[in-house]
Structure 1
């Protein structure tokens, strides 16, 4: 008795198994040959062949052509959620996020509890800045499936809306569900680092390095934290490891440069910062640090050049105008130095250093009344910092210069300074005169910036210890000798430049 003959497959699906086999083996050229034959036999009516051809075109970067083919699949089989999801995906890759949202909503009507649809809806809403709906869809996706990508995206949404506490809660939940995910551990560590919670930051970054010793983001962040506390040699050892993974990283070379700066190796610092500037010419933080080093070396024209460039990129930072005023003072351009100081005090609402420096500048130029006004404003800011933080510490040099100015202006001492603790020598001096956390992170780019130096990088311009940064030597009537002032109190000098100062109104 003969065995029954194998049934013939319908012509529309006859080569589907071959197409599938070659596609999963990534033998795309052979796969396209079978797809062509299948479509010729079926007059272009084989849904699977069109679907795989669209996938291959997307892999080749031909997004528009793949979109047209996925739309053909959706016409052939309008009840397929996969077809609608692929159409939406292609629209997303083309940057048409609103159109993608419509197709994802259509797919959601066919498949309500689909993690991929809800996650991608949240991503699309994120890109069109509809953060409320993005949060709703991402939370729905997490109820269906706790996926690490959804946790990451939800955390970004909270960061962009300025809710750092919610972002930290999301990342903590994510780490509980994915304790070995180095990306989540590193991100959470960076958030704690940004908030000044060094113990928790070190814990999570250390865990990330335990699972992946070559995680350059965690290495860079850990090195930055050590650098902030003055451990320059230990930080440099970390950066050597990171340099093997990302030799062309601007934040890496910025941090290395500031380590050399902390070790008073200024030429090496400038060399590294110049490399960071070459790799990222529009990063105002690198330009700020270059200006800082040139001020320290009393190269005021170069400092003016870099600080002006930094202000053109970030014109809302008062400390930048203050440093520029120092360079201008040393270049014997008192008029523009005055304008720079005025801009600095207008923009800065919390840093007493700005007002103290302006007060010294005005006193040296004979305007004692205006100097007294700035000194009193400095006292007001110090008292506010004292009220807002019981642990606020002030740089000893700032305290010393403030007391000398008080004596010179013959005013009562209305400030009760908090003396630095016994271990203050191991802590970074703060140009803002107090240690307060920086602004919250806002995006992936901002998370990347958290890894750029914690030295002179954040809103409070925290500077490394042991450097005694000398921007200038200032001669005051009430000081018999030239006094070396560091970033926290000085920066009053002469300034003149051949360049036209156009950044100020």
Structure 2
């Protein structure tokens, strides 16, 4: 007869281990550790067999940490985040130094939207980790990036954004995680460090050479630095990989538009409209294509731009471009309201205030027109050269001041126009207008109006042409030095005017001038077509 500590099994007497033996040395027979089998079924996503093994072995196992861990992962995969959190916490109680358990708890909290708790967990994991872990760094950077976006104080937001950038850089150095490269490039782009953002994404292509999203982003960033050739090459790869990629087609069409291939751009935009017609930037670009055609389709342009604004009421580019079309169509009241909305979105836009002054002048509100021109000049002076400068702001203000009898102020603005244009290759239209105004103001000859810069200045013509330009009074001709001469030169686009001729010739000149101005009204990268911001909004 077997004693109380012995049992008979299959004709053999087996001695049961005492409780003290189990606590001191949990000796397990060979083959009883089934963690490998559990991991195998989980890797195959055979969750039913995983649960059967866990239910059968959980209370018999001497070390159920991994079972609780896998059970938590399965619960999270099935959407039961609360139960997953409980099981992962049980696994953590059994082994408080397991970094993987900390990471999975942090990921679960992240999925549940409990970002502050997730950040605390990942920071604890960072302290316990023996070496730099790319996954921990990525999630800390992601959580800090989200916190910075939701911060109420600008100082705190900048600090968290800088810390997030640091952690994404650590994640990129510690491991090859695609999302880390993309997030770091996003922050660099926000800081307008486009060259480094391109470098980061080019390294990202080593991990995924045919990633359409990364290739498209690289193409857009090349547009930002005015390298349309490399942008065209990258976007061609996108089109070859996916002919229906809306973002790639939109950027590709913008490049064609910048090369004056309006029909080719409209063809690409039409392909986008068949699949995703509700993209605001798409209709903005379509409106500019109609405006750029040889026979201007102003009504179609206005309709397209208004649809863009209807889809995105806070779209600054569409509001600005619509105001230019309204001015060209001589609908100054509509342009005034559109510009007011654009100024509410960007109060530091010198061109918007310049166009507002044009509208007010046309509406015979001279006093407020002067205030608008004055504000545009002040903003222009506050902006640095890198931020973009438009000499036409000062030229238009000078023209307005001369028309209203402010000769001293007109001379001052003309001088600023000359100084701001020293290292720029001015278009002929600018020089034509400035020369006539210089004669009226009796200003000594300036080299900028009589000679053309060479060398490095030839690269600056794109920067000049890419500025926003307005429209003006094109009513009468006559001699340039007559009493009506100021009205003759008051071309707020800076367009070339005829010194003399009949009205029909002046109308033809006006039509050509407005066509030129339509291109300058919305530049892209290397030619006067769309605002540079339009290239940014191809991230639809």
Q: TM-score, normalised by structure 2?
A: 0.70
2:140 pairs with 1:121:
yes
2:121 pairs with 1:103:
yes
For the 8 Å contact 2:474–2:487, the answer to whether it is kept is: no
| 1:227 pairs with one of 245, 250, 257 | 257
For the 8 Å contact 1:35–1:53, the answer to whether it is kept is: no
For the 8 Å contact 1:311–1:321, the answer to whether it is kept is: yes
Which digits, 9 at most, give the CA deviation of each residue in 1:385-440, with x for residues without a partner?
Answer: x1xxxxx432222111111100111101224256599xxxxx9xxxxx95229xxx
Greater shift in the superposed pair: 204-213 or 329-338: 204-213
Which residue is equivalent to 1:157?
Answer: 187
Greater shift in the superposed pair: 179-188 or 231-240: 179-188
**Which consecutive residues of structure 1, in runs of 5 or more, have no partner in the other structure?**
387-391, 422-426, 428-432, 438-455, 464-468, 491-505
| 2:236 pairs with one of 171, 186, 206 | 206
2:102 pairs with 1:84:
yes
Which residue is equivalent to 1:166?
Answer: 196
2:211 pairs with 1:181:
yes
Distance 2:199 2:292 in 1: 35
Distance 2:357 2:429 in 1: 20
For the 8 Å contact 2:178–2:204, the answer to whether it is kept is: yes
- The 3 A distance-change label for structure 1 pair 161 and 95 is farther
Residue 53 of structure 1: how far off its partner (Å)? 2.1
Residue 225 of structure 1: how far off its partner (Å)? 1.7
Task: Trace 1:372-383 onto structure 2 (pairs within 5 A).
Answer: 372-383=411-422
For the 8 Å contact 1:155–1:170, the answer to whether it is kept is: yes
For the 8 Å contact 1:356–1:374, the answer to whether it is kept is: yes
Which digits, 9 at most, give the CA deviation of each residue in 1:282-316, with x for residues without a partner?
Answer: 11211111111111100011000111011011111
Which residue is equivalent to 1:273?
Answer: 305
For the 8 Å contact 1:298–1:472, the answer to whether it is kept is: no
Which digits, 9 at most, give the CA deviation of each residue in 1:15-62, with x for residues without a partner?
Answer: 9799959x937x9xx8999899889999x996243442234236xxxx
Distance 1:488 1:279 in 2: 33
Task: Trace 1:421-460 onto structure 2 (pairs within 5 A).
Answer: 434-436=461-463, 460=467
Residue 98 of structure 1: how far off its partner (Å)? 4.7
Which digits, 9 at most, give the CA deviation of each residue in 1:151-207, with x for residues without a partner?
Answer: 212222323344333222222322345332222221111111011111111122222
- The 3 A distance-change label for structure 1 pair 70 and 95 is same
Q: Which has the higher contact order (CA 8 A, sep 6+)?
A: 1
| 2:405 pairs with one of 360, 366, 369 | 366
Distance 1:39 1:359 in 2: 88
Which digits, 9 at most, give the CA deviation of each residue in 1:435-471, with x for residues without a partner?
Answer: 229xxxxxxxxxxxxxxxxxx9x8x33x7xxxxx755
2:178 pairs with 1:148:
yes
For the 8 Å contact 2:323–2:339, the answer to whether it is kept is: yes
Distance 1:355 1:208 in 2: 42
**Which consecutive residues of structure 2, in runs of 5 or more, have no partner in the other structure?**
1-9, 11-28, 149-158, 382-388, 477-481, 497-540
Which residue is equivalent to 1:473?
Answer: 474
Residue 217 of structure 1: how far off its partner (Å)? 1.4
Greater shift in the superposed pair: 87-96 or 197-206: 87-96
Which residue is equivalent to 1:354?
Answer: 393
For the 8 Å contact 1:295–1:472, the answer to whether it is kept is: no
Residue 130 of structure 1: how far off its partner (Å)? 3.1
Distance 1:274 1:38 in 2: 66
Distance 1:89 1:381 in 2: 54
Which residue is equivalent to 2:324?
Answer: 292
Distance 1:345 1:435 in 2: 22
Q: TM-score, normalised by structure 1?
A: 0.74
| 1:24 pairs with one of 45, 48, 54 | 45
Distance 2:391 2:247 in 1: 34
| 2:131 pairs with one of 112, 115, 120 | 112
- The 3 A distance-change label for structure 1 pair 207 and 308 is same
Distance 2:292 2:453 in 1: 20
Distance 1:483 1:66 in 2: 75
Structure with bigger gyration radius: 2
